[in-house]
Structure 1
Amino acid sequence: MRAPLWVPIAAWGFGLVSAALGAAAIVALQADTLSRVIGALSVVVGLAALAWGAAALTLDRTPAPRGAVAGVSAGVIVGLTLLTTEPGRASVLAIALLVGLGVVVACGILRGRRHPSRSTSLWSLIAAAAVVTIAVVPALGTCQGAALLDADGTVLPVVTHGH
């Protein structure tokens, strides 16, 4: 079974956003233990998605398609759970993109099961990477911004420790 070439690229975008959401939940100044644990789960899901995308491109097939769909589903649930934790500092834009990329990856894997993809060109790989990059980079910035929000809505200063 071989999913289209854009599926591993979308999985990389999913993994980057998931890892960024998790990192923001872990390092947020007002994070409690629960949000840090859920953040760590989000980082693990993100790293797994990055590894799966690399394996899919390296092997030139779709490894563990059921496990990949289950992992994407778990990542979406973990991401949505971050919105409900105290202090609830997850970026809504990043969560929306996470859900969207999760749907794209799952649908691409299911499409590959029914209609295996033939080889594609380097240009389609570049186009897929460009589209995912255009969508993911702003979401990564909002993850950091959400981690720096104070309870009253003001942005906390970033303190450097220069000597």
Structure 2
Amino acid sequence: MTTVRESTTGRVSRAPSWVPVAAWGFGLVAVGLGAAAIVAVQADPLSRVLGALSAAVGLGALLWGATSLSLNRTPTPRAAIGTLFVGMGFAVALLATAPGRASILAVALLLALGVTVACGIVQGTRHPSPRSSLWGLVGAATLVTIVVVPALGVCQGAALLDADGTVLPVLTHDGH
């Protein structure tokens, strides 16, 4: 007895409307972590390289989310999932660098958003969403804003910590 598999070549992968917005949240946190690692006072070359790579993955996630919404489909689902996991690896590696300028809260949020986006992409590949929902976008944007804005604040706070746990002053350039 032989079975015939259904061809997936004609089927369009369309993730739910909240997935691109969650990808934007992932991208914003990845860029924030990367920027904090690059400009931290005690940053070593490894943390700066990891920071640049994290920022690049974050910018890619922002671009992917915009492309997904504009095309009304999920572009390159496998590459997107792979890039998400690479970005999560960079974030975890930032925790292990010598200065340790990554915020644990921001990395935990990045991991949660990455897994959420990956699950949404897989869901859209297996069961394409019929159309985008305005309420889904509004709800996702609200939720992502509520969790991402504090994470971006702690990214900056982690970059300004000195080795003894005190916060370094932000120098102003008044009169220059």
Which TM-score bucket, shorter chain as reference?
over 0.9
Report the CA distance between 1:121 and its aligned residue: 2.7
Of the three residues 115, 131, 139, the one matched with 1:103 is: 115
**Runs of at least 5 residues in structure 1 that lack an aligned partner in the other structure:** none
1:89 aligns with 2:91: no
Of the three residues 22, 43, 46, the one matched with 1:10 is: 22
1:136 aligns with 2:148: yes
CA distance in 1, matches of 2:132, 2:33: 32
Report the CA distance between 1:124 and its aligned residue: 1.7
Q: CA RMSD in A?
A: 0.6
CA distance in 1, matches of 2:133, 2:61: 23
**Runs of at least 5 residues in structure 2 that lack an aligned partner in the other structure:** 1-12
Whether the 8 Å contact between 2:161 and 2:167 is mirrored in structure 1 is yes
Q: Secondary structure at the match of 1:88?
A: coil
Q: Secondary structure at the match of 2:73?
A: coil
CA distance in 1, matches of 2:125, 2:155: 34
TM-score of the pair, normalised by structure 2? 0.92
| Matched residue count | 163
1:77 aligns with 2:89: yes
In structure 2, the residue matched to 1:160 is 172
CA distance in 2, matches of 1:162, 1:25: 26
Look at both structures and tell me which one has the larger radius of gyration over its CA atoms.
2
The residue type paired with residue 144 of structure 1 is: Q
CA distance in 1, matches of 2:109, 2:133: 26
CA distance in 2, matches of 1:121, 1:49: 21
In structure 2, the residue matched to 1:115 is 127
Q: Secondary structure at the match of 2:132?
A: coil
The residue type paired with residue 171 of structure 2 is: V
Q: Secondary structure at the match of 1:90?
A: coil
Whether the 8 Å contact between 2:17 and 2:133 is mirrored in structure 1 is no
CA distance in 1, matches of 2:112, 2:36: 20
Matched-pair identity in %: 67
The residue type paired with residue 156 of structure 1 is: L
1:55 aligns with 2:67: yes
Q: Secondary structure at the match of 1:120?
A: coil
The residue type paired with residue 148 of structure 2 is: V
The residue type paired with residue 34 of structure 2 is: G
CA distance in 2, matches of 1:121, 1:109: 16
